[in-house]
C-alpha cells in the first residue's frame, strides 16, 4: 500500500503536503482510505443544541468552568469529525506526525510538552483554513515492552525461553491489546486533536514493509555489514543497546592500584596501574605509558606479566593517548571491555580479548574465576591480589558509570557480533543540508551540536538480541558459515528462491534471530507514513512536504539526524525544512524530575486539579530550546486565567440582547470594524480596544508562523487581562449601565462581542476546552470554534486613538493612586477638576462618564478647565501626563483634622521603633558579636524606617498647612 494505509507516525514532524499527493491520477496505488472528509457546514451544531446534549456548560449557568466537561467536549469534537482534514476546502495541506510514545508508557510532562506544542500548531493551521491532519500512534518499544512482559511472566513462574519465540511474541501481542492503550487515552485528555481513525502502531504492515525495504536497499549499496565490534551490552537483557538507552551517572567507587611485574627484571622492576575494574585484567593485551614519561622510559619495548594469569606476558608500549597525570601514569589496555581501549587497540593493531559472557559472568579466559559474576569476581580478585603482594592500595574514587535506562544495571562495553550501518556517507549529505540552508535548526545554536555529532559519527549498531520487534531480514543457509553465506531478502519466500538459485533446490534456510533497533524504524517515519517505498524516487520528490520537526533537544543526534540521513538517502530530499527544539520540563528549582528526588509532577493528576487548559498554557510559555521550570504557582496562576476568561464570558453574555431580539441583533451585526472609516466612527474606548486588537492579531499571527508560541501566549494574555478585562470591560459599563440612548449600548455590545470572540480564536490553540465552551455559549454561532476561521490580519488601527486613550488611562491611574494614598473609601465619590489644553480636554470630556465610573468621581462635579480651579493649598495636584493634570479637593477625600491626629500618633510610634533600631546598632556588644547578616538586616530596617518617617512628616506638614489645628 502507498497512501492508503499510513503506518505509525513517530516523528514530531509537521508536513505541508502538495495537494497533488492526493490526486488519484498522479499516484498509481489506491488512496481511498486517505481521502479527506468533505467539509459539511450542516455538521456543525448550534450552541443551544450542544448545550441540550449536555456537552457544554455556560457562564450563564455555571460559576466557573467545569474541568469534568473537557472529556465531553473532546468526544464531541471527535464525533463531529473535526479532527479529520477537509481537503475539499482547498489550501495547502498541513500534516504532523506524532512521535509515538512507548506502548508500555504512561503520560509524563515530556509527553505533555510535545502534545501541547504540536496541538497548538495543528489547531492554528486548521483555523487558517488548511486541510490539517495529525497522525497518532504508539511505538512497539522493543526492550521496554519485552522487559515488562518478561516480568509479568516471571510473576507467574514462567521464563521466556520456556515458552519459545512464537508463544512469547503471542503473549506480548495479548499484553499490548489489553494494556497498550493507556497512554493514548491520557494524550486525549490533553486535547490532542489527532485523527484517531488513522492511529497506527510501529509493527503495522506498512511500516514493517518499509523497514525491510530500507534494510535491503542499504545492504545492496554496501552500507550494511555484519561484524564483531564494541557495543553497549546489557547483561540482564542480554542485548546490545543504543547510546540513547545508556545513562551516565557520577557514582562513588574505588580506584585499585595493582603491581604488574616487568618480565626478566628484579623484584623491584614493576609498574603500578590504577583501575576501577580489576576483573578486566584477564583481558589485558598491553601496558601503555606516555612516551614523554621519564619514569617508565626504560621499560618501553619490554614485557609485563599480567597478575593472576599464570605468567601471561603482554608488551609495554608507548602512546601519547596515556595521561601522565591520571593514577600512576600507567594504563592497562583491555580492548574487549573499554571503548577507549578498543579504539586504541584497533589503531595499534593489538588483539581483542574478551573475558566476559553475555550474562555478565567471566568466561574461561578468566581461569579459576570462570562463571563468577563480574562484581563478585572483583571482590575475590582483590583479596587474592592482597594475599600475593600484588595489591598496592585502593582508595575512594568517583567514576562515570554507564547504566541501562530500562533496568538500571551497569552496562558492559563488550565486543559482539552485530549488524551495523556505515554512517559516514549518509552523514555527509545530512551535513550539507544544513550548510546549504535546506535545513534550519531552531534555535540555531544547536547547529553546532548537530554538525559536531555528524562530523564525528560512528557506525550504527542496528541489531538487538530480542524477540519483540522488526525481525532482521537476513536468512542463513543450514550447514554454511553464517558470516560468509547469508541472504538479504524482502520475505522468506524471496530468500528461499535466492538460496535455491545459488545452492540448489534442497537447500534449507533459517532467519536471523535478532530484531532491528527501534530507532531504525523511527528514522523512516517521515516517508514511510506517506507510502514509501511504493512511490518512485522522482514522484516522492514532487510530493515530499516542506516539514517542521518539533522535538526535544535531548534526542537531536539519535533521532533527528538519522531521519535527515535516511530521508535524503531514500528520497533524495531533506525530510524537513525546519527543526524546532523544545526544552526539558524541570521542577520549580530547575532540577530534573525524578522519583528519587520526589519532584515528579504527574500531568494526569495536574489535569484533575487545574484543568488541561491551565497545564497546556503553562507548558506553552517555554522558549524554544530552553528548559522550563514548572511550579504549582504557575499552574495556579493559569487556572485563575481560565476563570478570568470564564468571568469575562459571563459579563459579555449578561450584557447582550436576548437571542430572540431580532432587531437588537440586527443593530449589533450592522457594526463593522474592518475599514478605517468604520473605526473612526467609534467612541474613544471602543476605537482604542479594536485598534489594539487589530495590532495583536498581526503580532500573534506572525509569532505563530515563526513558532514563537511563548510570545503568542504572553501577548494574548496581556491583552486579554490588561487591556480587555481590566480596562475595556470596565469602561463599557458606562455605555451599558449609564447610557441614555440605545445606540451607545449597541456599540459597546458589538465591540465586546467582536473583541471577545477574536480573543477566543487566538487562545483556542493553547486553551481549547474553555474557549470552545465560551464560544458555544455565544449566541448565533453556527460553527465550532475548532474549525472557525482565523482572524483577518492587516485590519485598520488608529494610532492617534491609542495615544488618546493612553492619556485617559494615565489620568485614571493618577486619580486612583491618590484615592489609595489618602485611603478614600471605595464607595465615596469625589469631585475633580481636569486641566489640559483645549484639544485634550475635548476628547477627555467626551469620556466624562467613563472617567467618573472608573475613578469613582461625582459626575455632577467633574469640571474641565484650562487652569488651576482655586487655592492649591486645599487641593491635591496630580500630573497624569505632559499637559494633562487633575486637581482633587482634599476635603472631599478625608477628614483633615482626624487624619492629622492619626498621622501624628503613627509618627510617634515609628520614631520609637526607629530609635530602638539605632540604639541597637550603636551598641558595641551587638555590632561585635552579632552575625553579619543579622547586623545587615537591622541596618536595612533602620533605613526603611527613616524613609517612612520622612514621608510621614512631609505629608503631616502638608495637611497641617491646610487647616488650623488646635494645640
Best-predicted range by mean pLDDT among 524-533, 663-672, 872-881, 896-905? 663-672
Q: Which residues contact 595 (CB under 8 A, 6 or more apart)?
A: none
What pLDDT, on a 0 to 100 scale, did the predictor assign at position 23? 29
What's the sign of the alpha-carbon dihedral 935, 938, 942, 944? positive
pLDDT of 18 higher than 70 = no
Write out pLDDT tens, residues 42-57.
333 344 445 556 888 8
Grid cell listed for 530: 506517506
Best-predicted range by mean pLDDT among 577-581, 642-646, 909-913, 936-940? 642-646
CA dihedral (80, 85, 89, 95) in degrees, to 10, reads: 160
Q: How far is CA 801 from the centre of its chain?
A: 40
Q: What is the mean pLDDT of residues 253-280?
A: 94
Do 825 and 889 form a contact (C-beta atoms < 8 A)?
no
pLDDT of 27 higher than 50 = no
Stretch among 47-61, 75-89, 888-902 having the lowest mean pLDDT: 47-61
* Average pLDDT for the chain: 87
What pLDDT, on a 0 to 100 scale, did the predictor assign at position 52? 56
Q: What is the mean pLDDT of residues 578-594?
A: 83
Grid cell listed for 305: 606479566
Residue 569's nearest CA partner among 598, 597, 528, 600 is: 528
For residues 12 and 848, which has the higher predicted lDDT (pLDDT)? 848
pLDDT of 24 higher than 50 = no
pLDDT of 22 higher than 60 = no
- Residues above pLDDT 90, as percent of the chain: 63
Q: What is the mean pLDDT of residues 230-234?
A: 94
DSSP strand pairing (412-421 vs 460-461): antiparallel
pLDDT of 205 higher than 80 = yes
For residues 13 and 667, which has the higher predicted lDDT (pLDDT)? 667
What pLDDT, on a 0 to 100 scale, did the predictor assign at position 538? 66
Do 864 and 834 form a contact (C-beta atoms < 8 A)?
yes
What pLDDT, on a 0 to 100 scale, did the predictor assign at position 50? 52
pLDDT of 32 higher than 80 = no
pLDDT of 802 higher than 80 = yes
What 3-state DSSP class applies to 60? coil
What pLDDT, on a 0 to 100 scale, did the predictor assign at position 789? 94
Grid cell listed for 13: 514532524
Q: What is the mean pLDDT of residues 931-945?
A: 91
- Residues above pLDDT 70, as percent of the chain: 91
pLDDT of 548 higher than 80 = no
What pLDDT, on a 0 to 100 scale, did the predictor assign at position 594? 76
What pLDDT, on a 0 to 100 scale, did the predictor assign at position 294? 93
Q: Which CATH superfamily is domain 630-797 in?
A: Isoleucyl-tRNA Synthetase; Domain 1 (1.10.730.10)
Grid cell listed for 837: 489644553
Give the residue carrying C-alpha cell 520622612: 950
Residue 231's nearest CA partner among 358, 332, 339 is: 339
Do 797 and 679 form a contact (C-beta atoms < 8 A)?
yes
Q: What is the mean pLDDT of residues 217-225?
A: 97
Stretch among 276-290, 428-442, 445-459, 863-877 having the lowest mean pLDDT: 863-877
What pLDDT, on a 0 to 100 scale, did the predictor assign at position 622? 84
Q: What is the mean pLDDT of residues 773-786?
A: 88
What pLDDT, on a 0 to 100 scale, did the predictor assign at position 526? 77
pLDDT of 26 higher than 90 = no
Cα angle 790-792-796, degrees, rounded to a multiple of 5: 150
Grid cell listed for 959: 495637611
CATH code of 234-414, in short, is 3.90.740.10
Grid cell listed for 575: 525530510
Residue-by-residue DSSP string for 397-461 = EEEEEEEETTT-PBPEEEEEEEEEE--HHHHHHHHHHHHTTSSEEESTTHHHHHHHHHHT---EE
Write out pLDDT tens, residues 476-498.
999 887 777 899 999 999 999 99
Options 1.10.10, 2.60.60, 1.10.287, 1.10.260; CATH of 897-962: 1.10.287
Amino acid at each position: 500500500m502507498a497512501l492508503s494505509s499510513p503506518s505509525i507516525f513517530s516523528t514530531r514532524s509537521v508536513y505541508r503536503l502538495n495537494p497533488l499527493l492526493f490526486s488519484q491520477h498522479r499516484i498509481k496505488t489506491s488512496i481511498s482510505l486517505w481521502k479527506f472528509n468533505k467539509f459539511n457546514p450542516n455538521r456543525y451544531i448550534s450552541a443551544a443544541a450542544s448545550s441540550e446534549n449536555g456537552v457544554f456548560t455556560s457562564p450563564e449557568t455555571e460559576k466557573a468552568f467545569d474541568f469534568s466537561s473537557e472529556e465531553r467536549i473532546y468526544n464531541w469534537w471527535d464525533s463531529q469529525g473535526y479532527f479529520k482534514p477537509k481537503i475539499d476546502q482547498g489550501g495547502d495541506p498541513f500534516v504532523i506526525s506524532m512521535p509515538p510514545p512507548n506502548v508500555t508508557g504512561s503520560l509524563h510532562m515530556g509527553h505533555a510538552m510535545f502534545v501541547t506544542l504540536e496541538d497548538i500548531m495543528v489547531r492554528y493551521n486548521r483555523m487558517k483554513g488548511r486541510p490539517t491532519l495529525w497522525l497518532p500512534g504508539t511505538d512497539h518499544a522493543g526492550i521496554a515492552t519485552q522487559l515488562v512482559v518478561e516480568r509479568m511472566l516471571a510473576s507467574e513462574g514462567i521464563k521466556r525461553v520456556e515458552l519459545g519465540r512464537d508463544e512469547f511474541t503471542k503473549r506480548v501481542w495479548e499484553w499490548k491489546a489489553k494494556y497498550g492503550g493507556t497512554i493514548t487515552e491520557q494524550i486525549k485528555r490533553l486535547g490532542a486533536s489527532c485523527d484517531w481513525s488513522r492511529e497506527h502502531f510501529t509493527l503495522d504492515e506498512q511500516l514493517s514493509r518499509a523497514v525491510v525495504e530500507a534494510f535491503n536497499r542499504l545492504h545492496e549499496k554496501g552500507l550494511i555489514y555484519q561484524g564483531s565490534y564494541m557495543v553497549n551490552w546489557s547483561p540482564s537483557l542480554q542485548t546490545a543497546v543504543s547510546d540513547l538507552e545508556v545513562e551516565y551517572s557520577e557514582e562513588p567507587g574505588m580506584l585499585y592500584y595493582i603491581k604488574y611485574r616487568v618480565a626478566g627484571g628484579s623484584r623491584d622492576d614493576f609498574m603500578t596501574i590504577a583501575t576501577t575494574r580489576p576483573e578486566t585484567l584477564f583481558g589485558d593485551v598491553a601496558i601503555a605509558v606516555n612516551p614523554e614519561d621519564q619514569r617508565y622510559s626504560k621499560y618501553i619495548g619490554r614485557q609485563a606479566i599480567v597478575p593472576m594469569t599464570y605468567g601471561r606476558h603482554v608488551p609495554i608500549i608507548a602512546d601519547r593517548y596515556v595521561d601522565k597525570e591520571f593514577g600512576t601514569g600507567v594504563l592497562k589496555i583491555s580492548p574487549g571491555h573499554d571503548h577507549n581501549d578498543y579504539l586504541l587497540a584497533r589503531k595499534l593493531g593489538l588483539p581483542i580479548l574478551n573475558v566476559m559472557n553475555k550474562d555478565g559472568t567471566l568466561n574461561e579466559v578468566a581461569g579459576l574465576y570462570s562463571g563468577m559474576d563480574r562484581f563478585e569476581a572483583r571482590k575475590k580478585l582483590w583479596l587474592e591480589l592482597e594475599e600475593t603482594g600484588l595489591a598496592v592500595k585502593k582508595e575512594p574514587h568517583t567514576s562515570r558509570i554507564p547504566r541501562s535506562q530500562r533496568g538500571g544495571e551497569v552496562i558492559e562495553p563488550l565486543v559482539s557480533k552485530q549488524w551495523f550501518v556505515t554512517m559516514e556517507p549518509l552523514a555527509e549529505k545530512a551535513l550539507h543540508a544544513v550548510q546549504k540552508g535546506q535545513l534550519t535548526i531552531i534555535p540555531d545554536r544547536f547547529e553546532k551540536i548537530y554538525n559536531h555529532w555528524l562530523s564525528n559519527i560512528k557506525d550504527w549498531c542496528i541489531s538487538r538480541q530480542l524477540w519483540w520487534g522488526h525481525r532482521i531480514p537476513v536468512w542463513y543457509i543450514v550447514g554454511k558459515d553464517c558470516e560468509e553465506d547469508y541472504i538479504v531478502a524482502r520475505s522468506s519466500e524471496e530468500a528461499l528462491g535466492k538460496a535455491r538459485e545459488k545452492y540448489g533446490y534442497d537447500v534449507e534456510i533459517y532467519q536471523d534471530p535478532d530484531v532491528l533497533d527501534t530507532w531504525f524504524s523511527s528514522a523512516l517515519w517521515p516517508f514511510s507514513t506517506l507510502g514509501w517505498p511504493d512511490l518512485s524516487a522522482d514522484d516522492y520528490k514532487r510530493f515530499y512536504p516542506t516539514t517542521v520537526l518539533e522535538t526535544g533537544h535531548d534526542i537531536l543526534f539519535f533521532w533527528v539526524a538519522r531521519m535527515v540521513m535516511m530521508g535524503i538517502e531514500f528520497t533524495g530530499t531533506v525530510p524537513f525544512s525546519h527543526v524546532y527544539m523544545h526544552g526539558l520540563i524541570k521542577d520549580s528549582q530547575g532540577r530534573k524530575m525524578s522519583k528519587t528526588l520526589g519532584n515528579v509532577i504527574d500531568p494526569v493528576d495536574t489535569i484533575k486539579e487545574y484543568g488541561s487548559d491551565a497545564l497546556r498554557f503553562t507548558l506553552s510559555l517555554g522558549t524554544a530550546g530552553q528548559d522550563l521550570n514548572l511550579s504549582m504557582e504557575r499552574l495556579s496562576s493559569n487556572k485563575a486565567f481560565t476563570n478570568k476568561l470564564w468571568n469575562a464570558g459571563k459579563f459579555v453574555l449578561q450584557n447582550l440582547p436576548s437571542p430572540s431580539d431580532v432587531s437588537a441583533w440586527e443593530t449589533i451585526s450592522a457594526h463593522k470594524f474592518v475599514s478605517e472609516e468604520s473605526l473612526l466612527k467609534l467612541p474613544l474606548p471602543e476605537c482604542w480596544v479594536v485598534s489594539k486588537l487589530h495590532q495583536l492579531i498581526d503580532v500573534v499571527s506572525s509569532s505563530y508562523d515563526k513558532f514563537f508560541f511563548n510570545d503568542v501566549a504572553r501577548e494574548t494574555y496581556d491583552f486579554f487581562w490588561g487591556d480587555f478585562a481590566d480596562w475595556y470591560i470596565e469602561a463599557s459599563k458606562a455605555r451599558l449601565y449609564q447610557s441614555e440612548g440605545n445606540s451607545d449600548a449597541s456599540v459597546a455590545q458589538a465591540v465586546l462581542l467582536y473583541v471577545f470572540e477574536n480573543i477566543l480564536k487566538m487562545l483556542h490553540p493553547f486553551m481549547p476546552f474553555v474557549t470552545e465552551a465560551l464560544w458555544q455559549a455565544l449566541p448565533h454561532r453556527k460553527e465550532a470554534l475548532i474549525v472557525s476561521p482565523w482572524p483577518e490580519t492587516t485590519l485598520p488601527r488608529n494610532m492617534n486613538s491609542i495615544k488618546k486613550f493612553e492619556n485617559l488611562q494615565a489620568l485614571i491611574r493618577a486619580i486612583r493612586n491618590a484615592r489609595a494614598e489618602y485611603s478614600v473609601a471605595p464607595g465615596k465619590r469625589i469631585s475633580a477638576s481636569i486641566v489640559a489644553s483645549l484639544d485634550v480636554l475635548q476628547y477627555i470630556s467626551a469620556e466624562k462618564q467613563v472617567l467618573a465610573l472608573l475613578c469613582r468621581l461625582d459626575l455632577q462635579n467633574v469640571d474641565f478647565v484650562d487652569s488651576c480651579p482655586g487655592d492649591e493649598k486645599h487641593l491635591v495636584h496630580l500630573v497624569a501626563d505632559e499637559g494633562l493634570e487633575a486637581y482633587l479637593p482634599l476635603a472631599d477625600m478625608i477628614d483633615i483634622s482626624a487624619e492629622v491626629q492619626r498621622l501624628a500618633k503613627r509618627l510617634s510610634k515609628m520614631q520609637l521603633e526607629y530609635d530602638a533600631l539605632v540604639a541597637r546598632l550603636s551598641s558595641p556588644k551587638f555590632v561585635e558579636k552579632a552575625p553579619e547578616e543579622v547586623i545587615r538586616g537591622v541596618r536595612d530596617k533602620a533605613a526603611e524606617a527613616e524613609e517612612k518617617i520622612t514621608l510621614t512628616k512631609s505629608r503631616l506638614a502638608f495637611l497641617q498647612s491646610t487647616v488650623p489645628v488646635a494645640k
